[in-house]
Amino acid sequence: MLYRNVPKTGDKLSILGFGCMRLPTTKVGGVDEERAIRQIRHAIDNGINYLDTAPLYHLGKSEQVLGRALTDGYREKVRIATKLPPWSIHNRVDMDRILSEQLRTLHTDHIDYYLLHSLSKESWEKLKNLGVLEFLDTAKKDGRIKNAGFSFHGNTATLKEIVDAYDWEFCQIQYNYLDEQNQAGTEGLKYAAGKRLAVIIMEPLRGGNLAGKVPEEIQKIWDEAPVKRSAAEWGLRWVWNHPEATVVLSGMNNEANIDENLRIANSVLPNSLSQDELELINKVRDTYKRLMKIECTGCSYCIPCPSGIDIPGCFALYNTYYLFPHDRSARFQYLGRHGGVLAGKSYAGLCKQCGKCEKSAPNIYQSLN
């Protein structure tokens, strides 16, 4: 495993981080705890030392499972990253209460990397007015957290404003070869790194959409490369090619994918892609942008929907329908998963246009209008 330094502290973090937002699940939908714990420990045994969770993930189960996975001596081998949810904060007391609950759940006396979760301009102003910066100072001083940061899905201007407002150690942004100009983008990545923040990358494969089964037109482009790599490896190598990226998070839940990612993370250095390889990736990027209808990563920040719609699930199948025109399964899956055949109704036609989801992912909804 290769490691990169946190500029302000010198802490060495594995370039591959284990994202606990998409842990393996059982047939009835809950987290498969035994398998998840086995996967997490296997990753740690092979060099991963950065594990990312949040109260939102798996409806609170992610922190619980991670806490159990880090018993038996595993806690001492890793850095835990978790988050303060702005939507659950109504006053200063809530911040201390939630952090105390997280420490108990994770069976630890401190959080190594603590983030304000999914900041937007609105949530940032809310937390500032409620005293979040004083909270961070106090929690760092008394040792409950070691490093303060934030995760972010807004635009570059807001990112810069937040970066400049506090002495952060790190931040977390979405970045992949489709998002060079989207959200924080390359400009935001370089700005944060230029201020000596470690930059944690989420959604390097767009919620898995850039890996696994890829459209035939995309696969033909990958097949042009002299060196044969999976779509996932190309996507991860592209992000790691940027020296400003400290850790790349992967929401791993399949043993084969974990081992593939571990293998890649043993050898990828900054600026290691050739010009020909970069041009090949640009060709794939342009083709994807032509084929895709909705730029959804599946982060699920837009749910729960007041009307009960599984918004990311609907978007995923909508994109699948257009990305794989010869595969008719998307229609049947939509009827089964969302039309009430296999479960409750959660189809797009239930929308009452309340606008709640637009606030969580404005870039997506702007592209639909």
What domains can be seen in the chain, in order of their start residue?
Answer: 3-291 (3.20.20.100), 311-368 (no CATH)
In the predicted model, what is the mean pLDDT of residues 271-290? 96
- Determine which of 33-42, 103-112, 329-338, 360-369 has the lowest per-residue pLDDT on average: 360-369
In the predicted model, what is the mean pLDDT of residues 129-151? 98
Q: Residues near 269 by Cβ (< 8 Å), separated by ≥ 6? A: 2, 240
In this model, does residue 368 exceed pLDDT 70?
Answer: no
Burial grade of 109 (CB within 10 A; 0-12, 13-18, 19 or more): exposed
In this model, does residue 123 exceed pLDDT 70?
Answer: yes
Most confident of 36-45, 147-156, 295-304: 36-45
Q: How much of the chain, in percent, has pLDDT values that exceed 70? A: 97
- Determine which of 55-59, 176-180, 333-337 has the lowest per-residue pLDDT on average: 333-337
pLDDT tens, 302-326?
A: 888 999 998 988 988 888 788 777 7
Q: How much of the chain, in percent, has pLDDT values that exceed 90? A: 74
